[in-house]
Chain A
Protein backbone atom coordinates (compact mmCIF):
# COMPACT_ATOMS: atom_id res chain seq x y z
CA UNK A 1 0.00 0.00 0.00
CA UNK A 2 1.25 3.49 -0.82
CA UNK A 3 0.36 6.73 0.90
CA UNK A 4 -1.44 8.31 -2.07
CA UNK A 5 -4.82 7.81 -0.41
CA UNK A 6 -6.28 9.30 2.75
CA UNK A 7 -9.52 7.89 4.12
CA UNK A 8 -11.88 8.46 6.99
CA UNK A 9 -15.01 6.45 7.81
CA UNK A 10 -17.24 7.34 10.72
CA UNK A 11 -20.66 6.20 11.91
CA UNK A 12 -23.36 8.90 11.98
CA UNK A 13 -26.40 7.13 13.40
CA UNK A 14 -26.87 3.96 11.31
CA UNK A 15 -25.01 5.38 8.32
CA UNK A 16 -21.27 5.31 7.78
CA UNK A 17 -19.88 8.49 6.26
CA UNK A 18 -16.77 7.85 4.18
CA UNK A 19 -14.43 10.56 2.93
CA UNK A 20 -11.56 9.85 0.57
CA UNK A 21 -8.71 11.92 -0.81
CA UNK A 22 -6.40 10.54 -3.54
CA UNK A 23 -3.20 12.25 -4.56
CA UNK A 24 -3.31 12.59 -8.36
CA UNK A 25 -2.57 15.30 -10.99
CA UNK A 26 -5.86 14.73 -12.87
CA UNK A 27 -4.37 16.24 -16.02
CA UNK A 28 -7.08 17.03 -18.59
CA UNK A 29 -5.06 16.68 -21.78
CA UNK A 30 -6.32 20.12 -22.81
CA UNK A 31 -3.68 22.23 -21.07
CA UNK A 32 -0.56 23.48 -22.80
CA UNK A 33 2.90 23.29 -21.32
CA UNK A 34 3.88 26.97 -21.06
CA UNK A 35 7.55 26.27 -21.82
CA UNK A 36 7.12 24.10 -24.92
CA UNK A 37 3.64 25.14 -26.13
CA UNK A 38 2.73 21.46 -26.45
CA UNK A 39 -0.34 19.83 -24.95
CA UNK A 40 0.26 18.03 -21.68
CA UNK A 41 -1.06 14.47 -22.15
CA UNK A 42 -4.18 13.48 -20.24
CA UNK A 43 -3.46 11.64 -17.01
CA UNK A 44 -6.44 11.01 -14.78
CA UNK A 45 -8.10 8.43 -12.55
CA UNK A 46 -11.07 7.08 -14.48
CA UNK A 47 -12.42 4.17 -12.44
CA UNK A 48 -12.95 3.85 -8.72
CA UNK A 49 -14.56 1.08 -6.69
CA UNK A 50 -15.60 1.13 -3.03
CA UNK A 51 -16.32 -1.99 -0.97
CA UNK A 52 -17.70 -2.68 2.49
CA UNK A 53 -16.21 -5.88 3.94
CA UNK A 54 -15.23 -6.93 0.41
CA UNK A 55 -18.63 -6.29 -1.18
CA UNK A 56 -19.04 -3.48 -3.73
CA UNK A 57 -21.17 -0.57 -2.55
CA UNK A 58 -20.18 2.08 -5.09
CA UNK A 59 -18.67 2.01 -8.57
CA UNK A 60 -17.51 5.28 -10.09
CA UNK A 61 -16.45 6.40 -13.55
CA UNK A 62 -14.61 9.71 -13.69
CA UNK A 63 -13.65 12.05 -16.49
CA UNK A 64 -10.92 14.69 -16.54
CA UNK A 65 -13.16 17.26 -14.79
CA UNK A 66 -12.77 15.74 -11.34
CA UNK A 67 -10.49 18.16 -9.47
CA UNK A 68 -6.79 17.58 -8.91
CA UNK A 69 -6.14 15.41 -5.84
CA UNK A 70 -9.69 14.04 -6.05
CA UNK A 71 -11.99 14.19 -3.04
CA UNK A 72 -15.17 12.19 -2.74
CA UNK A 73 -17.59 11.32 0.00
CA UNK A 74 -20.31 8.70 0.20
CA UNK A 75 -22.61 7.04 2.75
CA UNK A 76 -23.22 3.39 3.57
CA UNK A 77 -26.37 2.34 5.37
CA UNK A 78 -26.28 -0.64 7.71
CA UNK A 79 -22.53 -0.52 8.23
CA UNK A 80 -21.13 -0.72 11.74
CA UNK A 81 -18.07 0.22 13.72
CA UNK A 82 -15.16 -2.09 12.88
CA UNK A 83 -16.34 -2.83 9.32
CA UNK A 84 -13.71 -2.48 6.60
CA UNK A 85 -14.05 0.02 3.76
CA UNK A 86 -11.65 -0.35 0.82
CA UNK A 87 -11.10 1.80 -2.25
CA UNK A 88 -9.50 0.63 -5.51
CA UNK A 89 -8.80 3.09 -8.29
CA UNK A 90 -7.04 2.99 -11.64
CA UNK A 91 -5.95 5.80 -13.95
CA UNK A 92 -5.90 6.00 -17.76
CA UNK A 93 -2.24 4.88 -17.79
CA UNK A 94 -3.07 1.74 -15.82
CA UNK A 95 -1.63 2.78 -12.45
CA UNK A 96 -3.52 1.25 -9.53
CA UNK A 97 -4.33 2.92 -6.23
CA UNK A 98 -5.58 1.20 -3.10
CA UNK A 99 -6.60 2.26 0.36
CA UNK A 100 -8.55 0.78 3.23
CA UNK A 101 -9.80 1.85 6.62
CA UNK A 102 -11.94 0.62 9.49
CA UNK A 103 -15.16 2.42 10.37
CA UNK A 104 -14.95 4.22 13.72
Chain B
Protein backbone atom coordinates (compact mmCIF):
# COMPACT_ATOMS: atom_id res chain seq x y z
CA UNK B 1 0.00 0.00 0.00
CA UNK B 2 2.75 2.42 0.95
CA UNK B 3 4.58 1.62 -2.30
CA UNK B 4 1.54 2.46 -4.35
CA UNK B 5 0.86 5.73 -2.62
CA UNK B 6 3.51 7.79 -4.44
CA UNK B 7 2.43 7.09 -8.04
CA UNK B 8 -1.17 7.63 -6.96
CA UNK B 9 -0.37 11.09 -5.55
CA UNK B 10 1.71 11.91 -8.61
CA UNK B 11 -1.24 10.98 -10.79
CA UNK B 12 -3.54 13.32 -8.89
CA UNK B 13 -0.99 16.12 -9.03
CA UNK B 14 -0.58 15.63 -12.79
CA UNK B 15 -4.34 15.71 -13.33
CA UNK B 16 -4.59 18.93 -11.39
CA UNK B 17 -1.75 20.50 -13.34
CA UNK B 18 -3.30 19.59 -16.68
CA UNK B 19 -6.65 20.97 -15.59
CA UNK B 20 -5.28 24.15 -14.10
CA UNK B 21 -2.67 25.02 -16.69
CA UNK B 22 -4.82 24.61 -19.78
CA UNK B 23 -6.77 27.90 -19.59
CA UNK B 24 -3.62 29.83 -18.70
CA UNK B 25 -1.83 28.50 -21.78
CA UNK B 26 -4.73 29.43 -24.03
CA UNK B 27 -5.04 32.93 -22.64
CA UNK B 28 -1.46 33.89 -23.29
CA UNK B 29 -1.38 37.67 -22.88
CA UNK B 30 -1.83 39.32 -19.49
CA UNK B 31 -4.89 41.48 -18.97
CA UNK B 32 -3.86 45.14 -19.38
CA UNK B 33 -5.02 46.43 -16.00
CA UNK B 34 -3.39 49.85 -16.44
CA UNK B 35 -5.21 50.58 -19.70
CA UNK B 36 -8.56 49.30 -18.43
CA UNK B 37 -8.24 51.41 -15.27
CA UNK B 38 -7.34 54.63 -17.13
CA UNK B 39 -9.84 57.44 -16.55
CA UNK B 40 -9.47 59.40 -19.80
CA UNK B 41 -9.56 58.21 -23.36
CA UNK B 42 -6.13 59.78 -24.01
CA UNK B 43 -4.54 57.81 -21.16
CA UNK B 44 -6.39 54.62 -22.10
CA UNK B 45 -5.21 54.87 -25.72
CA UNK B 46 -1.65 55.53 -24.58
CA UNK B 47 -1.64 52.65 -22.08
CA UNK B 48 -3.16 50.22 -24.58
CA UNK B 49 -0.48 51.10 -27.15
CA UNK B 50 -2.61 53.28 -29.43
CA UNK B 51 -1.13 56.64 -28.41
CA UNK B 52 -0.79 59.28 -31.13
CA UNK B 53 -3.16 57.52 -33.52
CA UNK B 54 -3.79 59.31 -36.82
CA UNK B 55 -7.35 59.83 -38.09
CA UNK B 56 -8.29 57.33 -40.76
CA UNK B 57 -11.29 56.87 -43.03
CA UNK B 58 -10.29 53.25 -43.63
CA UNK B 59 -11.82 52.14 -40.36
CA UNK B 60 -15.52 51.46 -40.82
CA UNK B 61 -17.43 51.95 -37.58
CA UNK B 62 -21.06 50.85 -37.65
CA UNK B 63 -23.01 52.15 -34.64
CA UNK B 64 -26.51 53.55 -34.10
CA UNK B 65 -26.96 57.37 -34.00
CA UNK B 66 -29.16 57.06 -30.95
CA UNK B 67 -29.05 54.33 -28.31
CA UNK B 68 -32.17 54.18 -26.18
CA UNK B 69 -30.53 51.77 -23.75
CA UNK B 70 -26.92 52.57 -22.89
CA UNK B 71 -26.44 49.11 -21.40
CA UNK B 72 -26.57 47.42 -24.82
CA UNK B 73 -25.11 49.47 -27.65
CA UNK B 74 -24.23 47.45 -30.76
CA UNK B 75 -20.82 48.24 -32.25
CA UNK B 76 -19.42 46.74 -35.45
CA UNK B 77 -15.94 47.56 -36.71
CA UNK B 78 -14.14 46.65 -39.93
CA UNK B 79 -10.61 47.79 -40.62
CA UNK B 80 -9.64 48.20 -44.26
CA UNK B 81 -6.08 49.05 -43.28
CA UNK B 82 -3.68 46.38 -44.61
CA UNK B 83 -1.74 44.53 -41.92
CA UNK B 84 -4.20 45.26 -39.10
CA UNK B 85 -3.06 43.30 -36.04
CA UNK B 86 -5.32 44.67 -33.33
CA UNK B 87 -8.15 47.07 -32.63
CA UNK B 88 -9.57 48.61 -29.47
CA UNK B 89 -12.96 50.15 -28.66
CA UNK B 90 -13.30 53.16 -26.34
CA UNK B 91 -16.42 54.86 -24.96
CA UNK B 92 -14.96 58.33 -24.32
CA UNK B 93 -17.14 59.34 -21.37
CA UNK B 94 -17.29 56.03 -19.53
CA UNK B 95 -15.60 56.04 -16.09
CA UNK B 96 -12.97 53.77 -17.69
CA UNK B 97 -13.02 54.50 -21.44
CA UNK B 98 -11.29 51.33 -22.70
CA UNK B 99 -14.03 48.79 -23.47
CA UNK B 100 -12.14 46.00 -25.22
CA UNK B 101 -8.98 45.21 -27.16
CA UNK B 102 -8.92 42.61 -29.95
CA UNK B 103 -5.79 40.87 -31.29
CA UNK B 104 -6.07 39.14 -34.65
CA UNK B 105 -3.92 36.23 -35.74
CA UNK B 106 -3.89 33.64 -38.55
CA UNK B 107 -7.01 33.86 -40.64
CA UNK B 108 -9.05 36.27 -38.53
CA UNK B 109 -10.50 39.13 -40.55
CA UNK B 110 -9.92 42.60 -39.03
CA UNK B 111 -13.57 42.73 -38.02
CA UNK B 112 -15.42 42.52 -34.76
CA UNK B 113 -19.00 42.98 -33.56
CA UNK B 114 -20.06 43.30 -29.94
CA UNK B 115 -22.42 45.04 -27.52
CA UNK B 116 -21.04 47.68 -25.16
CA UNK B 117 -22.22 49.74 -22.19
CA UNK B 118 -22.21 53.54 -22.42
CA UNK B 119 -22.65 55.73 -19.36
CA UNK B 120 -23.85 58.73 -21.38
CA UNK B 121 -23.88 60.37 -24.80
CA UNK B 122 -20.33 60.36 -26.12
CA UNK B 123 -18.03 59.45 -28.93
CA UNK B 124 -17.26 55.81 -29.49
CA UNK B 125 -13.67 55.64 -30.65
CA UNK B 126 -11.90 52.79 -32.37
CA UNK B 127 -8.14 52.52 -32.66
CA UNK B 128 -6.34 50.17 -35.02
CA UNK B 129 -2.77 48.97 -35.04
CA UNK B 130 -1.19 47.99 -38.36
CA UNK B 131 2.52 47.26 -38.37
CA UNK B 132 4.05 49.91 -36.10
CA UNK B 133 1.44 52.55 -37.00
CA UNK B 134 -1.81 53.42 -35.21
CA UNK B 135 -5.01 54.83 -36.65
CA UNK B 136 -8.33 55.96 -35.21
CA UNK B 137 -11.86 57.03 -35.98
CA UNK B 138 -14.86 57.96 -33.85
CA UNK B 139 -18.59 58.52 -34.00
CA UNK B 140 -20.95 60.11 -31.50
CA UNK B 141 -23.81 58.08 -30.09
CA UNK B 142 -26.66 59.79 -28.26
CA UNK B 143 -27.57 57.76 -25.21
CA UNK B 144 -31.08 58.22 -23.79
CA UNK B 145 -30.67 56.04 -20.68
CA UNK B 146 -27.14 55.42 -19.40
CA UNK B 147 -25.87 51.89 -19.02
CA UNK B 148 -23.71 52.13 -15.92
CA UNK B 149 -26.13 53.49 -13.32
CA UNK B 150 -27.61 51.45 -10.52
Contact = CB atoms under 8 A, between A and B. Distances in A.
Interface size grouping (class) on chain A = 35 or more
B117 A59 contact: no
B38 to A, nearest CB: 10
Given A59-B28, A60-B100, A65-B99, A76 B107 contact: yes
B108 A57 contact: yes
Contact of A47 (B31, B91, B105, B112): B31
Interface residues of B, number: 40
A85 to B, nearest CB: 11
A69 to B, nearest CB: 9
A57 B105 contact: yes
A90 interface: yes
Interface majority SS (helix, strand, loop, mixed), chain A: strand
Interface in A31-64: 31-34, 40, 46-52, 55-64
Nearest to A20: B114
Contacts of A67: 71-73, 114-117, 147
Nearest to B112: A74
Contacts, number: 130
B109 A77 contact: yes
A66 B99 contact: yes
Contacts of A56: 26, 28, 105-106
25 contacts: A30-B95, A46-B31, A49-B28, A50-B108, A52-B107, A56-B106, A57-B108, A60-B101, A62-B99, A63-B100, A65-B116, A65-B147, A67-B73, A67-B116, A67-B117, A70-B114, A72-B113, A72-B114, A73-B76, A74-B111, A74-B113, A75-B109, A77-B108, A78-B107, A88-B23
Interface of B: 23, 26-29, 31-32, 36, 71-73, 76, 91, 94-96, 98-109, 111-118, 147-150
Interface of A: 15, 26, 28, 30-34, 40, 46-52, 55-68, 70-79, 88, 90, 96
